[in-house]
Structure 1
Amino acid sequence: MYVGLDMGGTHTDAVLIAGGRVKRYCKTPTAPEDYLHTVTRALDEVLEDIATGEVRRLNLSTTVCTNAIVTGRTSPVGMLLEPGPGLNPAGLTCGAKNFILSGAIDHRGRPTSSLVATEIEAADKELRKAAIRHLAIVGKFSTRNPEHELQIKEALSPDYDFITLGHRLSGRLNYPRRVFSAYLNSAVASVYEAFAAAIKTYASSRQLPVEPDILKADGGTLSLAASRSLPVETILSGPSASIMGALALAPSSRDTIILDIGGTTTDIAFLADGVPLFEPLGITLAGYPTLIRALYSYSLGLGGDSCLRVRDGRLSIGPERLGPALALGGPAPTPTDALITMGRLDLGDKGAARRGLEQLGDQLGLTTGEVAAAIIKQMATEIASQTRALLEGINSRPVYTVREVLEDKKLRPEQVIVIGAPAPLLAAELEAAFGLPVVAPSLAGVANAIGAALSQPTTEITLQADTEQGFLTIPEEGIREKVQRGFNLEAARRRALAALQDRLRRLAPAAASAELEVVEEQSFNMVSGFYTTGKNIRVKVQVKPRVSPLEGDEHDV
């Protein structure tokens, strides 16, 4: 049996899948001040009378890190940066305290300037005085040689709560993105730890036989234990769960638009020939570009609980969410009230919903029924308009998917898959707005929990070898080891795949037999004068992304 849980800011959904079918599901309010209570309530409902020994997978997705960043509920972070020569670090000082340290390592991993112990001691003293408990240490070329980052950490006081080392986040070279990734990783550590502790407590109290896994932004999963040191990987796990859920509920081999309509936002994503689009450089969140691998998605501030107003004689929907619908005791009319008034949704105080829309109608010169219909039509039109704008941007550059780069591909969507609780209620208006067939699968309201339950582990590593220097590095694993001058691309490929297999066994033991693939490999001769002095070799390998379908065998995404 597979169990999936999706914790959003408003609701938490849980599903139980057995024999390739959803057997149980539930939706419960999220209590941000008490994650354990929320998790217990949701999981106990779907696991009632189920022998815990039958549970083979417990996967979770959550927006707790994303929400913490967007709302500013993060921990202050001390940044210790070693940018080296040739880079102005002024734009990288994102922490509550920032220290630019002397010392440098060049692009081939060679130390060219030593650290200054007194600078580190002074930074340590100031950080402790400011009571900053979370740090990030990032050197420009630490992926080629992490020794300075490690030395800085060793020189600090041992009692900090959380320290991120930049070289452990990604093997890719992009110093600004690595700085911001490390900052966010430390900033969300406390809020994520509260969520992870709740999950761990529940799993232990119920004696579940599996280690819980958490969904990442790239649509794969990571063990809960490993995620506690890499919480930044869970940013945007909610949108990735919606994409994976849509793939499971409505598999497609065509260019497709995916809409996840929630209470506050509508998440927009795309499939190219049935494969999710991918952010090639990494996601940007709250203005911070990062190295975090992610499925492509865009959040539009338009949802079922968006506030409705009349401004300058025109109807305005969102982006603010002031609370639930009037019918549920909220402070302002929402699209949910329009659906209730139209008779499409049997929920709450119908009189309150109708009275709120009557007031809007009076301002617009429309009857209550006319304003309700206008709200839903405008909501669909605005979603379609934003989707077309996104498509135009996507088609102006190479299309990246989780499998490959499609240089000449132009997305031409043939259908729209819509999920989220309001999905089937908006299908007709969305079909008219897009001019495309709309698929609103059954169980659309718990698609994110289904996507979480069916997702499987993914991870990647990058091997960089310099045979002239006689070293290779795998920064994600903290590996730096000697190689012989005869080390070549084939040997690098074997070493990278072996390291990835070891990483997978540690991060997701249940998926140790997953298929691995080489996604990038390069080998260049290094020449001095008229002689070849060595080779510069780079190999990137990953676990092939997969999702378990609701019926039948596993299939690639």
Structure 2
Amino acid sequence: MIIGLDVGGTHTDVVLLGQEGLVRQVKVTTNPSDLFATVLSGLEKITEGIDPEHIRRAVLSTTLATNRIVQNRIPEVGMIVSAGPGIDPELFRTGPHYHQVAGAIDHRGREVSPIDEAQILEVAHRFKADGIRYVGVVSKFSVRNAGHEVAIGELLGDGFEKVFLGHRVAGNLNFPRRIATTFLNASVYPIHKEFFEAVVNSLRKKGLHVPIRILKPDGGNMRFDASIDHPAQTILSGPAASVMGSVAFAPRDEECLVLDIGGTTTDMAVLVNGVPLLDPMGIGIGEHKTLIRSLETVSIGVGGDSAVRVVDGTIHIGPDRLGMAMAYGGPVPTPTDAIFLLGLGEGGDLEKAREGVQALADALGTDVRDAAHRIFEQACRTILAEADAMIERINAKPVYTVHELWEGHRLQPRHILVLGGPAPWFARGLERLSDNRVDVVPRWNVANAIGAGLARTTCEVTLFADTEREIAAAPEEGFTAVISSSYTEQDAITTALDLLRRKAIGRGANPEHLELEIVDAMSFNMVRGFYTTGKNIRVMAQVKPGLIHGYDPIAEKIVENSYT
């Protein structure tokens, strides 16, 4: 059996999956100030009366890091950036504690100018004086030669809680995106560390000794202990769980828009013939464009528990969540309160909901029912407008699925799949306000946890080779090798696939069912005078995202029993 657990900003969903389908499901309230109690409560309920020996693995996903970024609730982070001549690092400033330092590596990995040790020590002193505990270090061509980043990290020593080196968090060339990726790793590290410790302590207390994995934004998973050095890999694990939870039930012959409407955010994605779209460049969240490989998803700060206000006669929904709906004892009115007043949903204290919406109605100069209608309709229209904008952005560039490039394809989804706690309620409004068919995913309230549980292990490798210098390297993997001048692109592909296989198995992949593929392979001649002096080779390989081998019987049983 498999445990799938999704920690959201509002609720934590836990499922137990077996060949008979969904064996058990539980939902507990997320307490961000005590994640240990939240996770332990969910695990205790889901495993009650179950022999731990029967549990094969646990896969977790979380929207905690995503919510912190969307709500701009991240700690101050120190950044040390070296670039050398050319591009100005100030263009990519991440915040007030951002320092450009001396030192440069060229595009082939050769040192152009050394770092200034005294300058690094001075920056470190300023960080400590400002109370900075998390630091990111990025050198422009560190994926070709990580020497400067390593040296700066050694100079910083153990004076900070965590230091992230750019070449270890992202192996691809793209200086601006590697800065953002390193910054976000440092930014979300505290909340991820807290989550990591809560889960580990919960399982230990429960006596569960099973492989623990965490969902990544590309729809695959990785070993949980490996995630502590790559916390940004959890940034969109919640949306990825939504996508994977819909993949198992999506039609295989049409395009679908997926909407996971939670308490704090709505996560959006697109499926083409049952296959998720992939963002080949990397996550873009808020103002940050990264190298974190991901499914093509968008998160917006509108959910069932988003705070609703009236400012100058205009309704504002989110992006913050201040607690549950007033119907459930929360402090401010929310779209959920409006839904209850319109008779679309059930549960909670109707009078408390009325009390909250009444204040908004007074500010709008209307009655309670009209105010509730306007709140609910604005929430639905906002979600649909953001979905349309996402599709337009996707159509403005080549469309990639996790399996192939659809050159020239233009997306026109006419089918919406909705999941998340308030899915059945929002589905009515979304269908009324759009021209699309709207369906609720089976087991919509725990579909994200199901998606996490069924996802396979994925990873990727980027290999660089310079036959003139006779060096091959994959810095993110800690791999460097001496090669001959006759080393070819095919040799690089063989090396990359070998590294990928070992990495995937090390992260928990099933060695009998690995789907490896080359994402990109390029080779350029280096010419001096009239002679070719060598080749510059780059190869990118991945394990295809998807669901675990043999998931179909589980999904079929879930569909059969989804309304019982």
TM-score by length of 1: 0.92
Give yes or no for the alignment of 1:423 onto 2:423: yes
Structure 2, unaligned stretches of length 5 or more? 557-564
Deviation of residue 302 (structure 1)?
2.7
Checking the alignment, whether the CA contact within 8 Å between 2:249 and 2:555 is kept in structure 1 is: no
2:492 corresponds in structure 1 to 492
Q: Matches of residues 263-342 of structure 1 in structure 2 within 5 Å?
A: 263-308=263-308, 317-342=317-342
1:552 corresponds in structure 2 to 553
Aligned to 2:12, the other structure's residue is in SS state strand
Structure 2 CA distance, aligned partners of 1:382 and 1:93? 31
CA spacing shift, 1:314–1:182, aligned 2, 3 Å:
closer
Of the structure 1 ranges 373-382 and 178-187, higher mean CA displacement relative to structure 2 is found in 373-382
**1:219-262, CA deviations, whole angstroms, 9 ceiling, x for partnerless residues?**
11111110001101111111111111111243544211111112
Q: Supply the AA of the counterpart residue of 1:178.
A: R
CA spacing shift, 1:428–1:81, aligned 2, 3 Å:
closer
Checking the alignment, whether the CA contact within 8 Å between 2:255 and 2:415 is kept in structure 1 is: yes
Structure 2 CA distance, aligned partners of 1:21 and 1:473? 44
Structure 1 CA distance, aligned partners of 2:278 and 2:479? 28
Of the structure 1 ranges 158-167 and 71-80, higher mean CA displacement relative to structure 2 is found in 71-80
Structure 2 CA distance, aligned partners of 1:370 and 1:118? 65
**1:439-497, CA deviations, whole angstroms, 9 ceiling, x for partnerless residues?**
11231011111111111111111111110111111121122221001111111111001
Q: Supply the AA of the counterpart residue of 2:267.
A: D
Checking the alignment, whether the CA contact within 8 Å between 1:61 and 1:238 is kept in structure 2 is: yes
Structure 2 CA distance, aligned partners of 1:367 and 1:183? 47
2:473 corresponds in structure 1 to 473
1:390 corresponds in structure 2 to 390
The size of the alignment, in residue pairs, is 555
Checking the alignment, whether the CA contact within 8 Å between 1:13 and 1:26 is kept in structure 2 is: yes
Structure 1 CA distance, aligned partners of 2:158 and 2:357? 60
Structure 2 CA distance, aligned partners of 1:18 and 1:423? 25
1:178 corresponds in structure 2 to 178
CA spacing shift, 1:92–1:366, aligned 2, 3 Å:
closer
2:237 corresponds in structure 1 to 237
Identity rate of aligned residues, in percent?
Answer: 43
2:107 corresponds in structure 1 to 107
Structure 1 CA distance, aligned partners of 2:419 and 2:171? 35
Q: Supply the AA of the counterpart residue of 1:27.
A: K
Of the structure 1 ranges 262-271 and 305-314, higher mean CA displacement relative to structure 2 is found in 305-314
Q: Supply the AA of the counterpart residue of 2:282.
A: G
Deviation of residue 523 (structure 1)?
1.7
CA spacing shift, 1:107–1:51, aligned 2, 3 Å:
same
Deviation of residue 313 (structure 1)?
6.2
Q: Supply the AA of the counterpart residue of 1:135.
A: V
1:217 corresponds in structure 2 to 217
Q: Matches of residues 11-26 of structure 1 in structure 2 within 5 Å?
A: 11-19=11-19, 21-26=21-26
Indicate the RMSD between aligned Cα atoms, in angstroms. Answer: 2.7
Deviation of residue 207 (structure 1)?
3.2
Q: Matches of residues 441-460 of structure 1 in structure 2 within 5 Å?
A: 441-460=441-460
Checking the alignment, whether the CA contact within 8 Å between 2:177 and 2:291 is kept in structure 1 is: yes
Q: Supply the AA of the counterpart residue of 1:552.
A: P
Structure 2 CA distance, aligned partners of 1:77 and 1:512? 42
Give yes or no for the alignment of 1:437 onto 2:446: no
CA spacing shift, 1:49–1:100, aligned 2, 3 Å:
same
CA spacing shift, 1:358–1:401, aligned 2, 3 Å:
same
Deviation of residue 60 (structure 1)?
0.6
Q: Supply the AA of the counterpart residue of 2:176.
A: P
Structure 2 CA distance, aligned partners of 1:50 and 1:154? 48
Q: Supply the AA of the counterpart residue of 2:23.
A: K
Structure 2 CA distance, aligned partners of 1:534 and 1:308? 62
Q: Supply the AA of the counterpart residue of 1:32.
A: P
Give yes or no for the alignment of 1:503 onto 2:503: yes
CA spacing shift, 1:363–1:36, aligned 2, 3 Å:
closer
Deviation of residue 316 (structure 1)?
5.5
Checking the alignment, whether the CA contact within 8 Å between 1:547 and 1:554 is kept in structure 2 is: no
Structure 1 CA distance, aligned partners of 2:360 and 2:103? 64
1:36 corresponds in structure 2 to 36
Q: Matches of residues 69-218 of structure 1 in structure 2 within 5 Å?
A: 69-94=69-94, 97-218=97-218
Deviation of residue 554 (structure 1)?
9.8
**1:500-523, CA deviations, whole angstroms, 9 ceiling, x for partnerless residues?**
112123222556752211111112
CA spacing shift, 1:131–1:400, aligned 2, 3 Å:
same
**1:131-179, CA deviations, whole angstroms, 9 ceiling, x for partnerless residues?**
5332222111110111222222233434432121111122211111111
Checking the alignment, whether the CA contact within 8 Å between 1:181 and 1:290 is kept in structure 2 is: yes
Deviation of residue 106 (structure 1)?
0.8
Aligned to 1:546, the other structure's residue is in SS state coil
Structure 2 CA distance, aligned partners of 1:218 and 1:176? 21
Q: Supply the AA of the counterpart residue of 2:135.
A: L
Deviation of residue 263 (structure 1)?
1.9
Checking the alignment, whether the CA contact within 8 Å between 1:460 and 1:500 is kept in structure 2 is: yes
CA spacing shift, 1:99–1:355, aligned 2, 3 Å:
closer
Checking the alignment, whether the CA contact within 8 Å between 2:40 and 2:203 is kept in structure 1 is: no
Q: Matches of residues 367-386 of structure 1 in structure 2 within 5 Å?
A: 372-373=372-373, 375-386=375-386
Of the structure 1 ranges 58-67 and 203-212, higher mean CA displacement relative to structure 2 is found in 203-212
**1:101-158, CA deviations, whole angstroms, 9 ceiling, x for partnerless residues?**
3222110111222233333343344444555332222111110111222222233434
Q: Supply the AA of the counterpart residue of 2:335.
A: P
**1:344-386, CA deviations, whole angstroms, 9 ceiling, x for partnerless residues?**
4331212333455566667778776565555544433333233
Checking the alignment, whether the CA contact within 8 Å between 1:167 and 1:478 is kept in structure 2 is: no
Aligned to 2:520, the other structure's residue is in SS state strand
CA spacing shift, 1:363–1:471, aligned 2, 3 Å:
closer
Deviation of residue 319 (structure 1)?
4.5
Structure 2 CA distance, aligned partners of 1:286 and 1:538? 30
Structure 2 CA distance, aligned partners of 1:431 and 1:338? 18
Q: Supply the AA of the counterpart residue of 2:27.
A: K
Aligned to 2:269, the other structure's residue is in SS state strand
CA spacing shift, 1:524–1:157, aligned 2, 3 Å:
closer
Checking the alignment, whether the CA contact within 8 Å between 1:262 and 1:420 is kept in structure 2 is: yes
**1:372-412, CA deviations, whole angstroms, 9 ceiling, x for partnerless residues?**
55554443333323322332232232222222332210111
Checking the alignment, whether the CA contact within 8 Å between 2:19 and 2:554 is kept in structure 1 is: no
2:562 corresponds in structure 1 to none
Structure 1, unaligned stretches of length 5 or more? none
Structure 2 CA distance, aligned partners of 1:446 and 1:166? 36
Deviation of residue 183 (structure 1)?
1.8
Q: Supply the AA of the counterpart residue of 1:379.
A: A
Structure 2 CA distance, aligned partners of 1:193 and 1:307? 28
Aligned to 1:347, the other structure's residue is in SS state coil
Structure 2 CA distance, aligned partners of 1:105 and 1:193? 33
Structure 1 CA distance, aligned partners of 2:484 and 2:362? 81
CA spacing shift, 1:53–1:526, aligned 2, 3 Å:
same
Structure 2 CA distance, aligned partners of 1:16 and 1:443? 13
Aligned to 1:522, the other structure's residue is in SS state strand
Deviation of residue 527 (structure 1)?
2.0
Checking the alignment, whether the CA contact within 8 Å between 1:39 and 1:202 is kept in structure 2 is: yes
**1:311-330, CA deviations, whole angstroms, 9 ceiling, x for partnerless residues?**
66666554554433232223
Structure 2 CA distance, aligned partners of 1:132 and 1:320? 26
Structure 2 CA distance, aligned partners of 1:362 and 1:110? 68
Q: Supply the AA of the counterpart residue of 1:551.
A: D
Deviation of residue 59 (structure 1)?
0.7
